[in-house]
A and B are shown apart, each in its own frame.
Chain A
Amino acid sequence: MAEAKIALTGRIDSNNAPRVEQDMLGQLAGLGQVPVVLDAQELQYISSAGLRVILRLKKNYPDLTITNVNSEVYEILEMTGFTEMMTVEKAYRVVDVAGCEEIGRGANGTIYRIDQDNVVKVYNNADALEDIQHEREVARLALILGIPTAISYDVVRVGESYGSVFELLNASSFSKILAQEPEKMDWCVKEYVDLLKKIHSTVVPAGKLPDLKETVLDWARFMLDYLPEEAGKKLVAMVEAIPHDDHMIHGDYHTKNVMFQNDEVLLIDMDTLAIGHPIFELASMFNAMIGYSEMNPEQIIAFQGFDAETGRTFWRKSLAEYLNTKNELKIQEVENKARIIGYTRMIRRSIRRKGMETEQGRAEIEHWTGELLELLARVDTLMFSRNELEVEAIEENLEQVQAFVDEQLEAADCSPKSQMQIGLAVEEIFVNIARYAYAPEKGRATVRVEVSDAPVVVTITFMDHGQPYDPLAKEDPDVTLSASERAIGGLGIFIAKKTMDNVLYEYKDGQNILKLKKNL
Chain B
Amino acid sequence: MLKINKNVEAAKAVIALEGRLDTVTAPELEDDLLAIIDGITELVLDFEKLDYISSAGLRVLLSAQKTMNKQGTMKIVHVKDVIMDIFEMTGFLDILTVE
Contact = CB atoms under 8 A, between A and B. Distances in A.
Nearest to A402: B22
Nearest to B83: A420
B99 interface: no
Interface string B75-99: 0000000100010011100110000
B52 A420 contact: yes
B94 A480 contact: yes
A428 to B, nearest CB: 6
A489 interface: yes
B54 interface: yes
A484 B89 contact: no
A495 B55 contact: yes
B62 A420 contact: no
A252 B96 CA distance: 63
Given A395-B24, A488-B59, A483 B65 contact: yes
B89 A427 contact: no
B73 to A, nearest CB: 13
A431 interface: yes
Interface in A452-486: 478-484, 486
A427 B62 CA distance: 19
Nearest to B68: A483
Contacts of A484: 66, 69
Interface in B41-82: 51-52, 54-56, 58-59, 62-63, 65-66, 69, 82
B62 A495 contact: no
B55 A491 contact: yes
Given A488-B62, A492-B55, A499-B89, A483 B95 contact: yes
Nearest to A499: B89
Nearest to A396: B24
B59 to A, nearest CB: 5
A396 B24 CA distance: 7
B54 A495 contact: yes
A495 B87 CA distance: 10
A355 interface: no
A395 B23 contact: yes
A375 B62 CA distance: 43
Contacts of A482: 94-95
Contacts of B24: 395-396, 398-399
B62 A431 contact: no
Contact of A489 (B22, B59, B65): B59
B56 A424 contact: no
B66 A483 contact: yes
Contacts of A431: 23, 56
A483 B89 contact: no
B30 to A, nearest CB: 11
B55 A486 contact: no
B52 A480 contact: no
A481 B23 contact: no
Contact of B90 (A396, A417, A423, A491): A491
A498 interface: yes
Contacts, number: 63
B52 A423 contact: yes
A292 interface: no
Contact of B91 (A396, A417, A427, A481): A481
Given A398-B23, A424-B54, A491 B59 contact: yes
Contacts of B54: 424, 427-428, 492, 495
B38 to A, nearest CB: 19
Contacts of B62: 483, 486, 488
Given A427-B23, A484-B66, A494 B90 contact: yes
Contact of B89 (A396, A428, A498): A498
A431 B24 CA distance: 10
A424 B82 CA distance: 11
Interface in A480-520: 480-484, 486, 488-489, 491-492, 494-495, 498-499
Contacts of A424: 52, 54, 86
B70 to A, nearest CB: 9
Given A420-B82, A483-B95, A484-B66, A495 B89 contact: yes
B93 to A, nearest CB: 10
Contacts of A478: 91
Contacts of A399: 24
B69 A483 contact: yes
A18 B15 CA distance: 106
A495 B95 contact: no
A492 B89 CA distance: 12
Nearest to B81: A417
A484 to B, nearest CB: 6
B91 A480 contact: yes
A420 B56 CA distance: 15
A135 to B, nearest CB: 54
Contacts of B69: 483-484
A216 B23 CA distance: 42
A495 B86 contact: yes
A495 B56 CA distance: 11
Contacts of B56: 427, 431, 492
Contacts of A427: 22-23, 54, 56
Contacts of A489: 59
A397 to B, nearest CB: 10
A478 B94 CA distance: 12
Interface of B: 22-24, 51-52, 54-56, 58-59, 62-63, 65-66, 69, 82, 86, 89-91, 94-95
**Closest 4 A/B residue pairs (Cβ):** A479-B91, A491-B55, A492-B55, A483-B95
8 contacts: A398-B24, A420-B51, A420-B82, A482-B94, A482-B95, A488-B59, A489-B59, A491-B59
